[in-house]
Every structure is written in C-alpha cells, then in structure tokens.
Amino acid sequence: MNNNTGYTPPTIWTWENESGGKFANINRPIAGSTFEKDLSVGKHPLQLYSIGTPNGVKVTIMLEELLALGHSGAEYDAWLIDIFEGDQFSSGFVKVNPNSKIPALVDYSSDSPIKIFESGSILHYLAEKFDSFLSTDPKLRTETMNWLFWQMGSTPFLGGGFGHFYAYAPEKFKYPIDRFAMEVKRQLDVLDRHLTENVYLAGDDYSIADIATWPWYGALVLGNLYDAGEFLQVQTYENVQRWATEIVNRPAVKRGQIVNHA
C-alpha cells in the first residue's frame, strides 16, 4: 500500500496550526516562557523538577541509587512538572532550563545554586559530586561516557522517531514506521552484541550509562514502552533482556520509577 500523501514542502515553512497527535498542544516553533510562575523550593539540597517519563526516571533512579549507598547529601525534593499541561513553559522552569525540557535540577548545597539540565548532564554531575557510578580509571570512565553519549544520541530515533510515528502520530504511515523500526532494531542489536561479553554497558560495574539507557531500552524490551514488544520482537534480544531484568529488580530502580508520576 502506498501511503504517499503527495505533500510538497513549501519554499518557506510557516506554522499554521497544531500538527496533531498526543503532544500537539505543547509543540511550538519558538522557545521561552508562556506564563509567569516561580518554581517551588523545598528543604533538601537538591531540587528536582521533572515527571516520570524515561528521561525523568533516569534522574530519580540515580538519586535513589545514591541514597541507597548512604549519600545523605543526595536527599531531594521532587516537584512535578506536568509536560502534558505545559508546566515546562513557566518562567521559573525556563530560568533553570531554557530548552523547556524535563528533567531539571538545582543544587542548593553551596552559596551559589547550580542549575543543571539535560538528563545526561545531570547524571554526570551527580556521579562526580558523589564519586559514584563513574569509574576514576581512565579506560572504564571513557567506556562509561561512550555509552552515556550513545544513549543520548540514539534515543531520539526511538522516542521522537519510532515512538512518535508508531504510538502518538494522528495517522499511521508505513514509511516513517518502517524507517524508525529498522533503526531501533539496529540499536537493540548493538546493545545485544555488546552485552554478550559485558555484564553492564561499561563492563562489570553498574554505572550512569546503565542508569541512562535502562529507562528507554530496558523498558522497551520488558514490554513497557509504546506497547511495541511484539511488533519489534524484543524477546529475541536475549542479552538485553537479561540486563534489563537484572536492573529492574534493583530496589532503587523500583523506587525511582514511582517518583513524579502525573
């Protein structure tokens, strides 16, 4: 079946109306705040502004893992930013993250508060601050960063690509679904081959690379993302299944998944 709509892009693109789909009411081609509202601040040194999406879960898992290790300085207040209602466009949130994306973190443990945004940056910041889940050995540290950045670069094809066209777009079209399904399966094969010879992404030790990657690819192969397990035949990636199952059973991972759900 040919799903070609015959659309010819204009010489200059203009925003005429909402594109449709689940997130149409919050998508727009400009940045900045749309309303005035300060962010709440609690009593703990770390203030997290987020929601329990895969990117948000990365940080709550990291914080819960740090607390499990006994790092009392990792105590945090979690404030819900309901991205479906546009909370990320408040003036307070935009001051912390001008990109208006969750998660965002503010560290008040020093005289000058530190603002951190982008999930990978937050994980790296917390790993360095608490000297945990990031090896000081140059080889292992580099391997961890390799896989952390692999996740940051690869996941847009899974989320904004496959997830959007398979689960959220107002209409189903064969070309984009096939295009992004092929890429996601290639990524799963990358992980599966690597995990054949490695317990975790950076070797024998659990790290921020695993914490970053699991909420997306772990959730996917466990059947908890986009209801796409059968479509992608995720059970065939046995090494990713083993890795994902081991991580989902960690107590801190279980706690981190229930924080900031709308």
* Residue 98 forms part of a structural domain: no
* Residue 132 forms part of a structural domain: no
* Residue 6 forms part of a structural domain: no
Q: Global pTM?
A: 0.94
* Residue 236 forms part of a structural domain: yes
DSSP string, 37-54: -PPP--SSSEEEEE-SSH
Q: Which domain holds residue 250?
A: 138-255
Question: 17-26 pLDDT, tens per residue?
Answer: 766 666 667 7
* Residue 99 forms part of a structural domain: no
* Three-state SS letters, 86-124: CHHHEHHHHHHCCCCCCCEEEECCCCCCEEEECHHHHHH
* Residue 100 forms part of a structural domain: no
* Residue 196 forms part of a structural domain: yes
Residue type, 29: P
* Residue 17 forms part of a structural domain: no
Query: Which CATH number covers residue 237?
Result: 1.20.1050.10
Question: 94-131 pLDDT, tens per residue?
Answer: 999 999 999 999 999 999 999 999 999 999 999 999 99
Please tell me the total count of domains within the chain: 1
What pLDDT shows up at residue 261? 75
What pLDDT shows up at residue 262? 59
